[in-house]
Structure 1
Amino acid sequence: MTSHVLLSISGLHKAFGGLIAVNQMQFDICEGEIIGLLGPNGSGKTTVINLISGALSPNDGKVVLDGKDITNLPAHKISHAGIARTFQLVRILPDLDCIENIEAGLAYRTKPLWGHDAHTAAYELLERIGLEKHAHTPAGDLTYIDQKRLELGRALALQPKLLLLDEWLAGLNPSELQDGITLVRKLKHEGLTIIMVEHVMDAIRSLCDRCVVMNAGAKIADGSPDAVLSDGEVIRAYLGDSHA
């Protein structure tokens, strides 16, 4: 039985003036898979996330979600098609409490929720991400890990088929990191499909089914974490020729 391809990107190309940020990028991700999108700083990973989510439009290439071509759709239509994301710099509504932050997300999904239904669904989502004790805490007063949890909760409020995590585990201390890994693993067990841009190799090894590695805008490897992380070209990209 073949796995269902949820997202397929092909020939994806993005240049900013003379700088080619993404060069003929292509990969597929199957339903329920977690893919790590890896590469040294400046390799084009976040640009790929921006192209998939609609924050940027490609110069060339295609993005197909669940058989539907979503290339060049505006970001809100891509969100309604089933893609949600987090950002490198946490985006929350700091003056609202946690439950209000989630309710704001619920108001923007394909079938919006309001009033009592939204309040109930928001509390259930806070339980899912481990923030129910902070339902009425202003988001700006949360710890860094809990702000990240809240941003993740707002993404989950959109009921995505595909979740894009852009360095979601960055900046966490060792115990917070384990909590974060546990939460992402839980989402995987719930059947969510995830693309993670990540530099934390412990997380990559423990969470990812596959890794796609970029360097200078192009894909240089695609395979299991162990195979990819021991690949000579990948080691050269990260550490230079003397280590390969």
Structure 2
Amino acid sequence: MTTEVLLSISGLHKAFGGLIAVNQMQFDVHAGEIVGLLGPNGSGKTTVMNLISGALQANEGKVVISGKDITNLPAHKISHSGIARTFQLVRVLPDLDCIENIEAGLAYRTKPLWGDAAHAAALELLDRIGLAKQAHTPAGDLTYIDQKRLELGRALALQPKLLLLDEWLAGLNPSELQDGIALVRQLKDEGLTIIMVEHVMDAIRSLCDRCVVMNAGTKIADGTPDEVLSDPEVIRAYLGDSHA
């Protein structure tokens, strides 16, 4: 694996009034890695994703991608620096068809595409994510897994170096889950770097090179999936003292 650090987070801190949601968070992500961001509900994982992507402003700390400090830049500037994301709750444009949803993403990349070029690129992306046959289907008529595919396609339209997946595999049935895992693995094989917030342990063990585990806003473990999932402090965070 390459040793190039693509993303570096240091001293990241976010408080909402008296609640500390992220407490001096620190980790690196290397190019080509899939890093799982794990932890029980309320541990601060989505807040970290929001701080990286610009949906929230940090109180302290730094977010650096490819050597560029992007801390607290507006979300569109962070996107142009090479970061794209999906959300816990799927966000598609329901009245537009699949091609139009992807074209909306293509219009916001660093070098925007329009017209015939955008149409051709959108068709190619739909094929890549397994939605070529639904190109003209309104997004609101898609199944849940296909809406997730479409949102992923729109993120990929931005040509990211780093993709943030926030519980992208949640809510899928067993066969959809295997399809989703295969699609994420394909993106990794294409060289994309991914941070995924996930609770599906099969996916974590199957996909992640490394896992960073949070509890109550703080990093409590960083290592391979097997290392962190057998760590007594991680087991305690998920299951309580009696299981550690």
Give the superposition deviation at 1:55.
0.3
- Counterpart of 1:37? 37
Q: Distance in 2 between matches of 1:4 and 1:131?
A: 33
- Counterpart of 1:190? 190
- Counterpart of 1:3? 3
Change in Cα spacing, 1:2 to 1:147, as seen in structure 2 (3 Å) is closer
Q: Distance in 1 between matches of 2:223 and 2:48?
A: 18
Q: How does 1:79-94 map to 2 (within 5 A)?
A: 79-94=79-94
Q: Distance in 1 between matches of 2:104 and 2:40?
A: 35
- Counterpart of 1:201? 201
CA displacement 1:65-90 (0-9 Å, x = unmatched): 00000001000000000000000000
- Counterpart of 1:212? 212
CA displacement 1:135-156 (0-9 Å, x = unmatched): 0000000000000000000000
Secondary structure in structure 2 of the residue aligned to 1:178: helix
- Counterpart of 1:175? 175
CA displacement 1:157-184 (0-9 Å, x = unmatched): 0000000000000000000000000000
Instruction: Give the alignment's TM-score, normalised by structure 1.
Output: 0.99
Two-structure CA RMSD over aligned residues (Å): 0.7
* Runs ≥4 residues deviating over 3 A: none
- Counterpart of 2:156? 156
Give the superposition deviation at 1:242.
0.2
- Counterpart of 2:98? 98
Give the superposition deviation at 1:3.
1.1
Q: How does 1:31-70 map to 2 (within 5 A)?
A: 31-70=31-70
Secondary structure in structure 2 of the residue aligned to 1:136: coil
Give the superposition deviation at 1:49.
0.1
Change in Cα spacing, 1:141 to 1:2, as seen in structure 2 (3 Å) is closer
Q: Distance in 2 between matches of 1:58 and 1:101?
A: 30
Q: Distance in 1 between matches of 2:70 and 2:144?
A: 33
- Counterpart of 2:114? 114
Matched, 1:123 2:131: no
Q: Match for 1:33: what amino acid?
A: E
CA displacement 1:79-135 (0-9 Å, x = unmatched): 000000000000000000000100010001100000000000000000000000000
CA displacement 1:22-58 (0-9 Å, x = unmatched): 0000000000000000000000000000000000010
Give the superposition deviation at 1:2.
5.7
Q: Distance in 2 between matches of 1:86 and 1:39?
A: 19
Gaps of 5+ in 1: none
- Counterpart of 1:236? 236
2:2/2:31 contact within 8 Å kept? no
Q: Percent identity?
A: 89
Give the aligned length: 244
2:129/2:149 contact within 8 Å kept? yes
Q: Distance in 2 between matches of 1:191 and 1:50?
A: 23
